[in-house]
């Protein structure tokens, strides 16, 4: 009875718990990227097959997020997070024991259940604080979260060279166990549960889908992260096949984007309340677009260097660091009572688009390709992000809301 009473209380977790939940989700996405060429050789399959471990993971993650949000609104954040962590641990063990590429990809897709950590860490923040503060706090959560994927590819590349690609998934297993324990011990229920059926909860999706502002924020976040997901899908190939870098070298240069993301998150956390959500999104979209436009111009002029390519992607991280916390806070603010549902649906749009762009990057980077197709794909996605936030700001003016 005492445990039941404890679980029913609105007991917000420490921010470190939210950072770790979101960070584990991000780490599982990118720690193994420098190992993709080596994994392809291990399983005896083409690189394009192993590259699908990125696109398939993102695709299933998008599908799961559609369900994760309303399920957590109905049954609570705590139960969904604990269940997803258990399933993630089982899937991670499967990736380590898989005897062939097919089974590996199946278990790799199953790891996508950890997307609950990213979705619900945002929803928990929105449960606890109002709009402007939510944007600021999400910025700090994702700033801390970005430290994990910043060192992830570096660590993954080193582990792959010293031990083998399996070490990356072994580390995920250990971190998953620790996160499960911490979540059990620290995260109480923060959602206000309503006595409605899950089917009734799902039927509330049209309330969000009819909102032009929701679509504007969701598409802005989707296109902004799309530049990064295209980068995730194509940069390992560019690093190893175009620039002939080692796995650890690719991992080290991957960290530049994450450094930019951490700085952008700090700016979002520090200034979002003062500047406003929409203006911060707009500034972030401009930074990303400016960096990629410059990179495209330099690349088309014939300058091909790993330091130029990876260096300019720092602007992608910096711009997204300002854009994504505020765009996510914006879509959560449309219907605060549906914060979990909005986070899940918005995340599905964002991750689903990212899966498509990651897969497209793999197709564009065939034998003999340079980094140019990837740069242009990222630039096109950044343009979409800027146009989307301009749409939101125009709609806000029409409704007499603060821009």
pLDDT in tens, 109-162: 899 898 888 778 777 776 766 555 666 666 666 665 556 656 777 777 778 778
- Among 391, 395, 393, residue whose Cα is nearest residue 383: 391
How sure is the predictor about 91, in pLDDT bands with cuts at 50, 70 and 90? very high
How sure is the predictor about 197, in pLDDT bands with cuts at 50, 70 and 90? low
Instruction: Please identify, in words, the CATH class of the domain defined by 14-190+198-398.
Output: mainly alpha
Query: How many angstroms separate the CA atoms of 85 and 116, rounded?
Result: 9
Q: Cα separations (Å) of 51 from 27, 161, 350, 365, 401? A: 17, 19, 19, 11, 44
* Res 194: pLDDT: 62
Q: Using the 8-state DSSP alphabet, how is residue 163 labeled?
A: T
Q: What would the two tokens of residue 316 be? A: 């992608």
Q: Per-residue pLDDT tens for 229-258? A: 888 778 888 888 888 888 777 777 877 887
Among 289-298, 346-355, 365-374, the range of highest mean pLDDT: 289-298
How sure is the predictor about 223, in pLDDT bands with cuts at 50, 70 and 90? very high
Between the CA atoms of 293, 31, 90 and 341, what dihedral angle is there, to the nearest 10 degrees? -30
CA-based end-to-end distance of the chain: 48
Give the H/E segment covering residue 191.
none
Domain range list for the chain = 14-190+198-398
Q: Cα separations (Å) of 54 from 57, 100, 105, 230? A: 5, 17, 10, 10
* Res 180: pLDDT: 93
Lowest mean pLDDT among 58-67, 139-148, 278-287, 319-328: 139-148
Burial class (CB in 10 A: 0-12, 13-18, 19+), 274: exposed
Q: What would the two tokens of residue 104 be? A: 């590996």
Q: Using the 8-state DSSP alphabet, how is residue 38 labeled?
A: H
Query: How many angstroms separate the CA atoms of 294 and 292, rounded?
Result: 5
Question: Does residue 353 contact residue 220 with C-beta atoms inside 8 Å?
Answer: no
Q: Cα separations (Å) of 94 from 22, 35, 87, 216, 292? A: 22, 18, 11, 39, 38
How sure is the predictor about 1, in pLDDT bands with cuts at 50, 70 and 90? very low
Question: Does residue 200 contact residue 324 with C-beta atoms inside 8 Å?
Answer: no
How sure is the predictor about 2, in pLDDT bands with cuts at 50, 70 and 90? very low
How sure is the predictor about 5, in pLDDT bands with cuts at 50, 70 and 90? very low
* Res 4: pLDDT: 40
Q: Cα separations (Å) of 314 from 33, 42, 138, 260, 320? A: 18, 32, 21, 5, 10
pTM: 0.69
For the stretch 300-322, what's the b/e string if a residue is b when 16 or more beta carbons lie within 10 angstroms of its beta carbon?
Answer: eeeeeebeebbbbbbbbbbbbbb
Burial class (CB in 10 A: 0-12, 13-18, 19+), 237: buried
The angle at the Cα of 291, spanning 392 to 311, to the nearest 5 degrees, equals 140
* Res 396: pLDDT: 77
Query: How many angstroms separate the CA atoms of 108 and 167, rounded?
Result: 15
Q: Which residue has 């990651």 as its token pair?
A: 358
What is the rounded average pLDDT for all residues in the chain?
Answer: 80
């Amino acid at each position: 009875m005492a445990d039941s009473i404890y679980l029913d209380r609105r007991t917000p977790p420490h921010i470190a718990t939210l950072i770790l939940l979101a960070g584990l989700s991000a780490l599982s996405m990118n720690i193994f990227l420098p190992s993709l060429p080596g994994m392809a050789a291990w399983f005896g399959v083409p690189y394009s097959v192993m590259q699908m471990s990125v696109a398939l993971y993102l695709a299933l993650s998008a599908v799961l997020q559609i369900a994760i949000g309303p399920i957590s609104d109905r049954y609570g954040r705590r139960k969904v997070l604990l269940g997803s962590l258990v399933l993630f641990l089982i899937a991670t063990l499967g990736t380590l024991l898989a005897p062939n590429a097919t089974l590996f990809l199946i278990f790799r897709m199953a790891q996508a259940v950890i997307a609950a950590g990213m979705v619900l860490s945002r929803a928990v923040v929105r449960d606890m604080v109002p709009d402007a503060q939510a944007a600021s706090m999400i910025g700090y959560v994702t700033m801390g979260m970005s430290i994990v994927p910043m060192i992830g590819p570096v660590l993954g590349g080193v582990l792959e060279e010293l031990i083998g690609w399996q070490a990356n998934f072994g580390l995920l297993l250990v971190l998953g166990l620790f996160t499960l324990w911490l979540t059990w011990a620290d995260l109480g229920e923060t959602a206000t549960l309503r006595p409605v059926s899950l089917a009734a909860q799902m039927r509330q999706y049209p309330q969000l889908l009819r909102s032009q502002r929701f679509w504007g924020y969701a598409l802005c976040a989707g296109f902004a992260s799309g530049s990064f997901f295209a980068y995730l899908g194509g940069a390992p190939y560019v690093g190893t096949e175009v620039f002939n870098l080692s796995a650890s070298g690719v991992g080290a240069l991957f960290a530049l984007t994450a450094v930019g993301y951490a700085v952008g998150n700090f700016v979002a956390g520090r200034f979002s309340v003062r500047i406003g959500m929409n203006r911060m999104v707009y500034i972030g979209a401009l930074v990303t677009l400016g960096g990629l436009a410059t990179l495209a111009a330099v690349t088309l002029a014939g300058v091909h260097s790993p330091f130029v390519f990876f260096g300019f992607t720092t602007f992608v991280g910096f711009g997204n660091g300002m854009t994504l916390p505020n765009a996510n806070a914006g879509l959560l603010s449309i219907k605060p009572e549906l914060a979990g549902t909005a986070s899940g649906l918005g995340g599905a749009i964002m991750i689903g688009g990212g899966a498509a762009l990651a897969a497209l990057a793999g197709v564009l980077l065939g034998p003999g390709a340079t980094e140019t197709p990837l740069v242009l794909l990222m630039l096109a996605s950044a343009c979409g992000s800027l146009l989307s936030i301009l749409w939101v700001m125009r709609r806000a003016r029409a409704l007499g809301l603060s821009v």
